[in-house]
Structure 1
Amino acid sequence: MRIRRVTVLGLAVATVFGGGVTMVAPTAQAEITPVQSVGAQLPVQDFRAIELDEDRGRLYLAQGVGGGLPLVVTDLDGKPETRVDSVTDISDLALSDDGSTLLAAQGFDRVTALDAQSLTVRATYPAPKGACVFNVEPSGDKVVGGFRDCGIGSGGLLVWSAPGTAPVVYTQGPNYEPVIDASRGAPGLLVAGDTGISPVTTYVIDVSGDSPRIVAHRDDTGENLEDYALSPDGSEVVETTGSPYEHHSYRMPDLADATTYPSGVYPADAAWSGNGSTVAVGRSQTGSFDPDVLMYAKGSTTPTYAVDFRDGDVLWPGTLLVNRAGTRAWAVSYNDVYQDTQLLHSFGIGHAPNPPATNLGVSASTGSGSGKGTANITVTWTSPISVGQVSSEQYYWWITASTNGGPEKEIWRGNMNSTGRYNLSYSLPKGTTTLRVRFHDNEGWYPDGYATATVGGK
């Protein structure tokens, strides 16, 4: 078995000086070896959002709008617990600050409040016609939704003071496709910006009164906005943008520069631990053996933990979650070829992820009559998900036959097909034949494998 160790050295930031000269300087000097994670397949058909309920040991999964698919609840390892068939077509989820209510942006026309314990519907917050509400955040005693223009004339924010009432429609801040975040440590404040418009303008908006008002804004905070992550105490917001290739954070509420958390290309997400001690930053489209998620202590530019998904597995933006203590995190990935399969990764200094494992098997049987002299052989290779989720050309295997203890003769070699299964036949000599199959991952991500089977000849 070949052991591969990967280090993250000096993630770099480019600085442009007069005359157009670009200097590259390291921002994180310490070495760190990413831990490998293969994840576990989520029990969903059309994944869209995930929320953590640490008190109840649950993950809530939204399955998207239009297919009538229900809210799915799993344990913290992604194992199914229940489905809420009465609540379907969900685009976003958020747990209230006190953990008692689960808010679901539902059907693009309302926000539904569920009792987090019983998962029964408590209340509904209706959106006005033409405002397609697609995300939701609690902020103080208000519920805030971001909406797209579906006939109302603009995108923007919906601010509800009570269920069953008309919201305040606010379009003076982000008014195209808002990205929003809030924090229990800053009740009544919201961080918001528009995705789909570059450069990004970031707003801090006070929604506590009868009419929202902009407290601060900062122009040109990056391009291709993905996410905001506001710290639990409300003092710092980490922004995720496609450019620059690092995670900038800003002090609240004035949006002055705070820590820059190095990440590299391409920033995809950020999340805080519940106690505010840890920041997790994620990126997508990483190269082979590069970390997909890095974890930092607040204010530090040296990572304390890193995790690597398989080559081809891409972090789903907005899915990073961290527990209160900063010892365990969750993220969802999808394969850039097979996008209909989502994997849940769980990892951290207090929780080892699912590691790469090679489960290789070989079986053989003989036919009857004239087929007694032919071995029908099946070779299989499985992992937490099918080999078909990545290129079959990555996986190389070969098989030998040895009769009555004699020398091994190679009878086949090649790439595993997309199902992780290969069938072949072999003309058996007289005696007892031992078949030995060996497996090798050309990328070196999965460990080598070995299996045997014995079959009698004519």
Structure 2
Amino acid sequence: MRARILTLGMVSAIAAVSVTTSAYGAPPAPAADSGGTTAAAAQVSAVKSVGTPLPVDDFRAIELDEDRGRLYLAQGVGTGLPLVVTDLDGQFQQRVTAVTDVSDLVLADDHRRLLVAQGFNRVTALDADSLTVKAAYPVPSGACPYVVEPTGDKIVAGFLDCGLGSGGLLVWSSPDTPPTVYTAGPNYEPVIDASAGAPGLIVAGDTGYSPVTTYVIDVTGTTPQIRSRRTDTGENLQDYALSPDGTEVVESTGYPYEHHAYRMPDLADATVYPSGAYPADAAWSADSSTVAIGRSDTSSFDPDVLLYKKGSTTPTYAVDFRSGDNLWKGTLLVNRDGSRAWAVSYDDYYQERYLLHSFGPAHPPKAPVTDLAVTAATGSGKQKGTANLTVTWSSPMSGPSGAGGDHYWWITASTNGGPEKEFGRGRMDTTGKASATYALPKGTTTFTVHYQDFEGWYPPGYDTATLTR
């Protein structure tokens, strides 16, 4: 599962108040699917996940370390940002300042080393317990490695052409030795994956042009050899996910709108996992019982991630992100037994917002809520005829994850049971608070603050306060 988003900038950087209890109504029924979800995928109801903001300034890759209860986060190349470590819920633990400019990272098969691709110019091995540098893998001039995978006793990196004349693979037999440079397979912008169940084999293909050719490459010998090759396996390659038992690889391509799997190592047809537009990612549980498949650019009510049992075409679980939060390819992770999964989304309009979603049959996601409140008090002295109101909220667009979005609150007033009159409206933003004033007439005035998500993803909410003059 090694497909990382690269940008031109990254490559060029190398070369007294009574308040009622809030009430929430049910969201409207989902609209018709416009994203191509198949009938099979629609058989399971999707749960909603709002995610948790990641403690990063930038983001490029994520890795799961279930044994140590950690997630490792790569912040990308070019700004000197360090490796970040969180717990399994995305809560900050530490910054590894000795390891910066990371484009990809992966645990070795023995789970004792964390391999990182750094600065498009080296691969480094860290001790997974102490997160100190233990070994380095040198890179030839003109090759810019950006993804890395262990397989058997070899370390393999996919590299871009930065002067060598071609992209391709670098294969190391040991640290501190020159790698074998291999360009007879994918040679533009390689996507690679490997697993402990298929030692010495790499599944690889090029993203950046279509149709896709998928390779199984044997790197056990002095010179890598193509074991099998299959042409025209789709368009716009996103990701490969090789099952930990080494028997099946799931390919994510922009088209067709389903996740095709192929047997290993001959790449014969295996299961087709229904998903819909647009396939973006896949990942396996460590016991190979469960595969998670993900897609991007979905509508409000389309599932973003579906969980399948291996070989089944009926999903067992589905999760939906907020409209505008797109799955970041290469970020799907699944625990050992398939009971919990993780993914990162980014805001389609404000890409500085990176959210960690954690979900699964044994782990309900962080669900959307609409917590509104209004407080009201009269002014003093000459201002006793003025109501001072404060509106607060904790969702859907407040807090550090809530920049932007056309989500609004509005407030009405009704005196002595008369009609409601709107007198204030504002955008829900990162402050979580707004103020308003109102000229109080004689009698008892009820103020009601409202929120309604017209897409129906967040639940509607309201809260009231009363003042008597």
Tell me the equivalent position of 1:416: 427
Mapped partners of 2:419, 2:243: distance in 1: 62
More deviation in 345-354 or 430-439?
430-439
Asked if 1:374 is matched to 2:398, the reply is no
AA of the residue aligned to 1:196: G
Higher relative contact order (CA 8 A, sep 6+): 2
Q: For 1:334, which of 322, 325, 346 is the aligned residue?
A: 346
Q: Distance in 1 between matches of 2:106 and 2:175?
A: 16
Letter in 1 for 2:216: V
Q: Residues of 1 paired with 2:458 and 2:155: CA distance?
A: 46
Structure 1 residues 288-328: Cα deviation after superposition (integer angstroms, max 9, x where no partner): 21100111110111111110111111000000001110111
Which of residues 126, 144, 162 is equivalent to 1:114? 126
Q: CA deviation at 1:454?
A: 4.6
Residue of structure 1 equivalent to 2:411: 398
- TM-score of the two chains, using structure 2 as the length reference: 0.89
3-state DSSP class of the match of 2:382?
helix
Query: Matched residues in 1 for 2:139 and 2:286: separation?
Result: 30
Describe the shift of the 1:29–1:48 C-alpha distance in structure 2 as closer, same or farther (beyond 3 A): closer
* Deviation readout 1:243-274 (Å, 9 max, x if unpaired): 11110110110111111101110000001111
In the TM superposition, what is the alpha-carbon distance from 1:164 to its structure 2 partner? Answer: 1.1
CA distance in 2, matches of 1:117, 1:126: 23
Cα 1:78/1:384, change in 2 over 3 Å: farther
Query: Could you say which residue in structure 1 is the equivalent of 2:19?
Result: none
What CA deviation, in whole Å up to 9, does each residue of 1:81-108 have, x standing for no partner? Answer: 1110111110001001111111110111
Q: Is the 8 A contact 1:335 1:390 kept in 2?
A: no
Contact 2:397 2:429 in 1 (8 A): no
Report how many residues are paired.
442
- State the distance in 1 between where 2:80 and 2:126 align: 18
* Structure 2 residue 189 is the aligned partner of structure 1 residue 165: no
Shift of 1:129: 1.4
Q: Where has structure 1 moved over 6 Å in runs of 4 or more? A: none
1:59 and 1:75 in contact (8 A); partners too: yes
Distance 1:451 1:30 in 2: 35
Kindly state the Cα deviation for residue 375 of structure 1 after the two structures are TM-superposed.
Answer: 2.2
Question: Please, what is the CA RMSD of the aligned residues?
Answer: 2.3
In structure 1, runs of 5+ residues without a counterpart are 14-25
Separation of aligned partners in 2, 1:384 and 1:83? 29
Letter matched to residue 106 of structure 1: Q
Correspondence for 2:364 among 344, 348, 352: 352
How far apart, CA to CA, are the structure 2 residues paired with 1:401 and 1:143?
70
Pair 1:58-2:70 in alignment: yes
Change (3 A) 1:392 1:222: closer
Question: Is the 8 Å Cα contact of residues 335 and 389 (structure 1) preserved in structure 2?
Answer: no
Residues 183 and 234 in structure 1, CA contact (< 8 A), matched pair in contact too: yes
Deviation at 1:412, TM superposition (A): 2.4
Alignment of 1:165-204 (within 5 A): 165-204=177-216
2:59, 2:396 → 1: CA distance? 19
Partner of 2:85: 73
Identify the residue that residue 139 of structure 1 maps to in structure 2.
Answer: 151
Shift of the alpha carbon at 1:8? 9.8
- Cα distance in 1 for residues equivalent to 2:31 and 2:194: 35
Tell me which amino acid in the other structure corresponds to 1:40: T
Unaligned runs of 5+ in 2: 1-24
Are 1:386 and 2:398 counterparts? yes
**Cα distance, 1:446–1:97 mapped onto 2, change above 3 Å:** same
Deviates more, 1:372-381 or 1:285-294: 372-381
The alpha-carbon deviation at position 32 of structure 1 amounts to 1.1
Deviates more, 1:208-217 or 1:390-399: 390-399
Separation of aligned partners in 2, 1:27 and 1:372: 62
For 1:358 and 1:289, the matched residues in 2 are separated by 18
- Aligned partners of 2:425, 2:73: CA distance in 1, in Å? 39
With over 3 angstroms needed to count, the CA separation of the structure-2 counterparts of 1:92 and 1:319, relative to structure 1, is same
One-letter amino acid of the structure 2 residue matched with residue 244 of structure 1: P
The residue that corresponds to 1:20 in the other structure is none
Q: 2:452 is paired with a residue of what secondary structure? A: strand
Amino acid at match of 1:450: Y
Contact 1:68 1:88 in 2 (8 A): yes
Match of 1:435 in 2: 447
Q: One-letter code of the match for 1:342?
A: Y
Match in the other structure for 2:165: 153
**Structure 1 residue aligned with 2:269:** 257
Partners of 1:33 and 1:213 in 2: how far apart?
A: 45
Query: TM-score with structure 1 length normalisation?
Result: 0.91
